[in-house]
Amino acid sequence: DAMVIQNPRYQVTQFGKPVTLSCSQTLNHNVMYWYQQKSSQAPKLLFHYYDKDFNNEADTPDNFQSRRPNTSFCFLDIRSPGLGDAAMYLCATSRDEGGLAGDEQYFGPGTRLTVT
Amino acid sequence: RKEVEQDPGPFNVPEGATVAFNCTYSNSASQSFFWYRQDCRKEPKLLMSVYSSGNEDGRFTAQLNRASQYISLLIRDSKLSDSATYLCVVNGGGFKTIFGAGTRLFVKA
């Protein structure tokens, strides 16, 4: 089945130790998104890629970076995790072939990050 | 004012009840609207898109009122399995996707 896959599902890292979360998709969608969701809060968009074009949300901290080496894969790099970065990180994709940004998004199962 | 606001909940309803959720958005240029369902510690899953003409999928009906910048979701004949958090999602254009904080629903036997 076509899907959005995230690895690992659970990640523990130490304060200040860089960590990379990965996302892959078999949907062949143009757009990939990264969200941060803290307990009992809404998912918050960090950034998205439309093909290779990277778009950062204005309030996304510099500590968060992303790479999309090809259509299928997208990575979230947290350069120096702080305790406040502990959250669920969700990857999503959408088709948006016309660039109209109107398509629904399909989410991966998320990676739950713990910072010790 | 938040860009997307939802009823805070939680809603506690018996099986078989009808329940309605409301959502308002601040950006009048918003282009597309969705309802997602999120179970505890799981990812959001698309429940339905919301069209100007309104749409229905089984027990679920969604309405959009652009003039009032208002979206609603109606669930009829609630089931225990409907217990979840319901997220209102608004696309403000240019891939800017904004989630509401969600409304928790508990359906009791």
Interface residue of B5, B36, B43 to substitute, partner A, most A CBs within 10 Å = B43
Task: Please answer whether residues A63 and A85 qualify as being in contact, where contact means their C-beta atoms are separated by less than 8 angstroms.
Answer: yes
Summarize pLDDT for A7-46 with one digit per residue, the tens: 999 999 999 999 999 999 999 999 999 999 998 889 999 9
Q: Which residue has the higher pLDDT, B28 or B37?
A: B37
pLDDT of res. A110: 96
Considering only CB atoms, which chain B residues are within 8 Å of A90? Answer: 43-44
pLDDT of res. A100: 54
The CA-based angle B99-B103-B41, given to 5 degrees, is: 75
Who's near A91: CB < 8 A, 6+ residues apart? A4, A6, A21, A23, A25, A32, A33, A34, A35, A74, A76, A107, A108, A110
Summarize pLDDT for B36-81 with one digit per residue, the tens: 999 998 999 999 989 788 889 999 999 999 999 999 999 999 999 9
**pLDDT of A51 above 80:** yes
pLDDT of res. B91: 86
Going from the C-alpha of A83 to that of each of A3, A22, A112, the distances in angstroms are 31, 20, 13
Q: By the CB < 8 Å criterion, does B91 face chain A?
A: yes
Summarize pLDDT for A87-97 with one digit per residue, the tens: 999 999 998 75
From the list B42, B93, B99, the residue facing A101 with the nearest CB is: B93
Q: By the CB < 8 Å criterion, does B100 face chain A?
A: yes
**pLDDT of B104 above 60:** yes
Q: What are phi and psi of A39, to 5 degrees?
A: -55, 130
Record the tokens describing residue A79, joined without a space: 């350069």
Who's near A14: CB < 8 A, 6+ residues apart? A81, A115, A116
Summarize pLDDT for A68-81 with one digit per residue, the tens: 999 999 999 999 99
Distance to chain B for A107, nearest Cα, Å: 6
CB–CB contacts below 8 A, A to B:
52
Query: What mean pLDDT do residues B19-36 have?
Result: 92
pLDDT of res. B53: 82
- For chain A, which residues lie within 8 Å of any Cβ of chain B, measuring from their own Cβ? 31, 33, 41-45, 48, 50, 55, 57, 88, 90, 96, 100-110, 112
pLDDT of res. B60: 97
pLDDT tier at B25 (50, 70, 90 boundaries)? very high
Record the tokens describing residue A34, joined without a space: 């990264």
